[in-house]
Amino acid sequence: MPLIARSIGEDPDAAVRRLAILSLLWWKKAAHPYADAVRAAAGDPAEEVREAAAYWLREQSGTTASPPDPGHRGPENRDGGDMR
């Protein structure tokens, strides 16, 4: 889990940062020590990373939330278009 959390703040690819956040969901309470990395991602320049961070934080707080759109890539989409 430490490597997953580190990739949230350090990986240059927004898709990897987003997937790292979502992968921590599978660890449930064991992922709580890495909440600071997810909180920091709430200010990420990529919208899909911010959405994943918000979703993770809501899930960890017990608030019912809709998962982020898995097809959304926002400005990080390599062909310049929005995949929604």
The closest alpha carbon to 1, from 22, 24, 21, 17, belongs to: 24
Indicate if the alpha-carbon torsion angle 83, 64, 22, 43 is positive or negative: positive
Where in the chain are the domains?
A: 2-76
Indicate if the alpha-carbon torsion angle 24, 34, 55, 9 is positive or negative: negative
pTM: 0.71
Q: Output the six-digit token pair for 32.
A: 């709580």
Q: Using CA atoms, how far apart are residues 32 and 17, in angstroms rounded to an integer? A: 17
Domain 2-76 is of which CATH architecture?
Alpha Horseshoe (1.25)
Averaged pLDDT in 10-residue chunks for the chain of 84 residues: 94 97 90 94 97 94 59 46 40
